[in-house]
Structure 1
């Protein structure tokens, strides 16, 4: 594992674009948090988003992992670019000539995906703790540790999503086409969901159950939207007579579905490479 990671880190270090994208990912996450903590004084209006309770424990664990999920596209670009560069720079062929097996090559990419997911999760953990300890109204140990399972959900979500990117990068070879195909895939899942809703009766929950097994949606289910969980949103909803009833928890079967797709995409990445003439 160490040898494979060393090879990948050398390639990553020599890619200026990848380094810029990774730095941008962490910088934007930090910037969002800084902006939320800044007080804006406009005449008689004094407003700071952090004072609205968005950084309160344990809610902040859910909110930050959900927001960070939108920025995973930066790492996605890095991953598909890594795969594209293997063909463009002929490093894949050279690695195989130098004695690296095709299985080891796929494992080296998966290990990088694992590292990306782990580093991102650790960063979100540290950022959330700092913001929560500064701005949260509730700082008892039990409250702080509650909902930290969203970190695990976020990690598994990234691992699955990056595995899809790895598969598409191997399948399509060109980074721009791979990202385009990823977007089309997302659209197709929603078209499929709409078709299921049209086919089954209105009172049936079968479309939702089937939709939960779709790859991209199954990953999204790991960290569900937290906006309607926010107390001011609930209060506003109650005032207009709407009651929000939603399950925000991540269940074991949602982890199982996401991990199953991760395995499937890594497996087929290996199958494609085995059958491809280089």
Structure 2
């Protein structure tokens, strides 16, 4: 494993675009802290986000992992460009000539995916701790360690998403086309979701039925790992109650969703190996 990671690190070290994108990604992760400085003023109404409870333990684990996951597209560019460069610079063929098997090649990419996801998770963990200790109203250990499963879900989410990107990078061989293919698949899932709503429009519990089907699709299942955190805020709940609305949704990290996403991760890596094995290089 260490040998394969060393090979990938050597390639990334000499790839300027990947280094720049990685720096932008981690720089943007750090910028989550700037949310604490955001203030809204509308006449007599004043809102300081840091005082609204978004950095309170344990809510911060949910909020920060959700916000950080939005930035994953920057690292997706790094993953797909890694594969595109393998074809452009003929390093894939050279690696195979030098004795690296196709299985080891795929594993080296997968290990790189895991490392990117792990470093990102640790980075978000450290930033969240710093912001939590600075702004949280609750600093008891039992509260701080509550909801840490969001960090695990964040890690699984990144591994699955980057594995999908890796598969697309191998499939189309060009980073721009691979990213485009990701968006095309997102559109396909969205159209299918709309079709399901149209199909079940006259049925009872339409949304529940649609979600029950959509949860098995790759991007939808990855998205479901960490649900939106905004409606959990007390300020949002109070505003909803004033308008006669109540939120009854579950925000928990579902074990069934982890299983579905893990299954898709395995499928992406397996298909990547099958595709590479059958392809004439």
* TM-score interval, smaller chain: over 0.9
Aligned to 1:233: 236
Please identify, of 227-236 and 39-48, the stretch whose mean Cα deviation from structure 2 is larger: 39-48
In the alignment, the residues of structure 2 paired with residue 41 and residue 71 of structure 1 have an alpha-carbon distance, to the nearest angstrom, of 24
Aligned to 1:276: 279
Q: CA RMSD in A?
A: 1.6
Please identify, of 236-245 and 44-53, the stretch whose mean Cα deviation from structure 2 is larger: 44-53
Aligned to 1:162: 162
Q: TM-score, normalised by structure 2?
A: 0.95
Distance 1:24 1:239, change over 3 A: same
Q: TM-score, normalised by structure 1?
A: 0.96
Which runs of at least 4 in structure 1 moved beyond 3 Å after TM superposition? 39-48
For 2:3, what is the secondary structure of its paired residue?
A: helix
In the alignment, the residues of structure 2 paired with residue 255 and residue 36 of structure 1 have an alpha-carbon distance, to the nearest angstrom, of 29
Aligned to 2:203: 202
Structure 1 unmatched ranges of 5 or more: none
Aligned length: 277
In the alignment, the residues of structure 2 paired with residue 243 and residue 58 of structure 1 have an alpha-carbon distance, to the nearest angstrom, of 22
Aligned to 1:224: 227
Structure 2 unmatched ranges of 5 or more: none
Distance 1:41 1:209, change over 3 A: closer
Q: Is the CA contact 2:39–2:46 (under 8 Å) kept in the aligned structure 1?
A: yes
In the alignment, the residues of structure 2 paired with residue 102 and residue 18 of structure 1 have an alpha-carbon distance, to the nearest angstrom, of 23
Q: Is the CA contact 2:32–2:64 (under 8 Å) kept in the aligned structure 1?
A: no
Which of 215, 226, 231 is the equivalent residue of 2:218? 215
In the alignment, the residues of structure 2 paired with residue 17 and residue 211 of structure 1 have an alpha-carbon distance, to the nearest angstrom, of 35
In the alignment, the residues of structure 1 paired with residue 40 and residue 159 of structure 2 have an alpha-carbon distance, to the nearest angstrom, of 41
